[in-house]
Amino acid sequence: MFGLPPETALLVFGFPVFWILYTIGFLYVSRRWRRESGDDSS
Amino acid sequence: MNKKPIAIIAPNFDRHAALERIAGLDRKALARVEGAVYYPYFRFAATCRVPGLFSKRDLGAHCLVDGRRGIGATTVAFETIEEAVGDGEVLGALLSAEAARNAAQRFMTHAISRRTRTIARFGVELSHCGVVYKRFWLVRGGQHRFVVDSVTGQLHDIRLAAA
Amino acid sequence: MSVTVIAFLLLYYVAVLGIGYWAMRRGAGEDLEGYLLGGRKIGPMTTALTLQSTSMSGYMFLGAGGLGFAQGYWALWYAAGDIGGGVLNLSVIGRRMRKLSQMMGALTAIEYLEKRYPSPLVRLFGGTLTVFLLGFYALAQFIAGGKGMALVTGIPYPLALAIAVAVILVYTFMGGYLAVAYTDFFQSLVMLFGVLWIVVAALSELGGLTAANNAIGALDPTLLGVWGRDMGFEGQWGVVAGALLIFSVGYMGWPHVVTRHMAMTEPATARSAGVYATVWNLFFVPAPYLVGILAILILPVIEDPEMAIFQVAARLLPGAVTGLVMAAIMAAIMSTADSLLLQTGSIASRDLYERFINPEASEKQMVWVSRGLVCAIAAVGYLVALFEPPSVFGVVIFATSVLGSAFLPAYVCAVWWPKANTPGALTSMIAGASVSFIWELADLTATTEIAPMLAGVLASTVTMIVVSLATQRIAPVPEHIRVALGVAGSAGPIPAGYLAATDFALGPEAAEIAQAVNGNEQRHE
């Protein structure tokens, strides 16, 4: 793939895929987090 | 019960609105307003010199300091009204005015430094405008109790120590 | 070409100042006041881009490029973790940390640690360690700024370095106008555009990615593999683990990252920031490593591998674009340096000076302490960068390893493990810092094939668990913290419907009211 050996292709594309899935998972798990504004005391 | 007048932040949520806030979250549970509590804040008007392009600007702001925990926050300008409330409903301030002033000073300096990402003297000048209270409605929802902020309508459970 | 580059560099800064000025004048009285003092939102896109652009710094443009040039595709082990660093941090500690710091009224990351693990030693050790390592990270930015400017403008390195350091100091002491969100946004866009252009130009110069990889393979097939040039890291999973950990969880040791969590306005921000972080990182984290790898083909042998990206840009981009892009990169470096120095000053003055030396310190004294320390760092940094500059990569990895090892368990357990107590935290910080530091100094990586980051994190995590459990009886976690963590009290868990609507900003008031109401009820029985 793109002239890369298989392990390298896994490194280059595998981790991004993992993080995309992780992010989607995070969005799902946090779907109930409140949407209204809170105070900003910082 | 003795009632004395205090300054409270003009509320937007009355008893009925607070009840509806809680009831609306779980129609099956019984919701009931049990009373109100008045929480103290020290109020300050602040002017700060903020570094701007080619010169410094004086910005005005309002700052509230939590009267029991000393936590600072900036706030928009708000109106206050006088209301007579019973002694038992008022939470007294635990901070001295001086401690509150220090907390406000510290908080404002920190906030400006963080936002402008600058290490500088911001010349924060504070004038103390007294103590104001905010009404929190105590509302029961099912087996749990909540406070509802009468100004913003926001809520939080109050966890009581297990019996 | 130097003249064109310098001209466009200056043009860029004029544009930035212009935008800053326009933003200030635009009747921005109310907006600016809100933004500066109250947290009025500028907009999700702007917020996201400003969050991300502050992490683009000298490491990206020098360290990453240099590693790609030197080791080929091995470098992407570092990118692999980095891509997820943003969302990982946000998802694991972001919201909880915001809530807890709110409850405890902590303003800085170190103060937060002391409040959660009450002991002056936590503040003393944590603060001192952080200041020391932030100084290193700032050094990396000085080196990056100086070298970059020297290469691109042709100004001799000592002078370029002095200019870079001076500009950073000006920014940090007077920076108001440069820190308006709009200029950060503009800078991010220019950098985005610039990095894309460099990548596209490099790829088209080489005839596409496949052709480039084939050519690299023909030159040296080990550069295409995952074990580095000449298979130098073959089978060294301990080093690979270190590379994966460093920019995924190592971030948690950085106060400017952690402070961002504390400043989060609403939980929803964490969600959108998480998405933006991942999307941004997917494109921009691998890019500098890739350009470094492609530089193997584009550039002849170069003296300093860390200059690979700058040299590729100088070679492939039109002078004007080089000027603009270099300016944006400089701005990113200076912006990062400014954040670091600000944190250093803040921790030194508040967490160390005011806390331990002069509790009655006035604002004036605190500013003197902050600025004094920053100047000292600048002076020492300048000298080190001038005479014996280490590689940006080396410095950043070292500093991140030690800080990450020291603080990772402390920050994570602060919000996830109610049994994490003060002795546990203190010993874990000391263990993590010591192990990673010694590992690095004694070059134990060579013999053990385990990276300092991995060794350090293991040491600190094990220490936290063992010591906390062993000392639960003699040093239990204080009740008010258990309340703040939501583990103390109440009849059972709060139902989901109520929980979803809870505003955690009201936590402190709720806890106070709970105590007062509880006290009253007990009296009435």
DSSP code per residue over C303-354:
S-GGGHHHHHHHHHS-HHHHHHHHHHHHHHHHHHHHHHHHHHHHIIIIIIII
Which residue, among B81, B1, B48, has the nearest Cα to C37 in the 3D structure?
Answer: B48
Asked whether the predicted pLDDT for residue B53 surpasses 90, the reply is no
- What value does the CA radius of gyration of chain C take, rounded to a whole number of Å? 24
Integer Cα distance of C407 and C457 in angstroms: 9
Range of the domain at C105: 2-490
Do B73 and A40 count as a contact with CB atoms less than 8 A apart?
yes
Highest-scoring range by mean pLDDT, B117-126, C28-37, C54-63 = B117-126
In a domain, C175, yes or no: yes
Residue with tokens 């966890």: B159
In this predicted structure, the answer to whether residue B85 has a pLDDT above a threshold of 80 is yes
Residues of C in contact with B75 (CB under 8 A): 38
User: Is the pLDDT reported for residue B117 higher than 80?
Assistant: no
Every domain of chain B and the residues it spans: 3-157
At C55 the pLDDT is 64
Query: Which chains are within 8 Å of A by 3+ CB pairs?
Result: B, C
Give a yes or no: residue C504 inside a domain.
no
- pLDDT value of position C277: 83
pTM for this model (two decimals):
0.86
Cβ contact (<8 Å) for C39 and A40? yes
Task: Render pLDDT for C373-428 as a digit per residue (tens, 0 to 9).
Answer: 999 999 999 999 999 889 999 999 999 999 999 999 999 999 999 999 999 999 99
Is the CB of A38 less than 8 angstroms away from the CB of C504? yes
Shortest Cα–Cα distance, A5 to chain B (Å): 46
| Integer Cα distance of C114 and C364 in angstroms | 25
User: Is position C423 within any domain?
Assistant: yes
Q: Do C179 and B116 touch (CB under 8 A)?
A: yes
A-interface mutation test, from B9, B152, B155, most A Cβ less than 10 A away: B152
Give chain B positions within 8 Å (CB) of C260: none
Which tokens belong to C159? 């002078």
Structure tokens at B99: 């401690």
CATH of the domain at C435: 1.20.1730.10
Higher pLDDT, C96 or B65: B65
Number of domains in chain C: 1
Q: Which of A2, A27, A42 sits opposite C275 (nearest CB)?
A: A27
Q: How far is C214 from chain A (nearest CA, A)?
A: 6
pLDDT tens digits for C143-169? 998 988 888 778 899 998 998 898 888
* B contact test, residue of C14, C17, C19, C36 with most B CBs within 10 A: C36
Contact state of B73 with A36 under an 8 Å Cβ cutoff: no
Instruction: Judge whether B115 is closer than 8 Å to chain A, CB to CB.
Output: no
φ, ψ for residue C442 (rounded to 5)?
A: -90, 5
Task: List, for residues C335-380, the tens digit of each pLDDT value.
Answer: 788 888 988 998 999 899 998 999 888 888 888 999 999 999 999 9
Picking from C498, C504, C515 by the largest number of B CB atoms within 10 A of its own CB, the best residue to mutate is: C498
Q: What is the mean pLDDT of residues C180-198?
A: 75
| ipTM summary value | 0.91
How does pLDDT run across C46-74, given as a tens digit for each residue? 555 555 555 667 888 899 999 999 999 99
**Residues of chain C with C-beta less than 8 angstroms from the C-beta of B106:** 107
Q: Is C497 a domain residue?
A: no
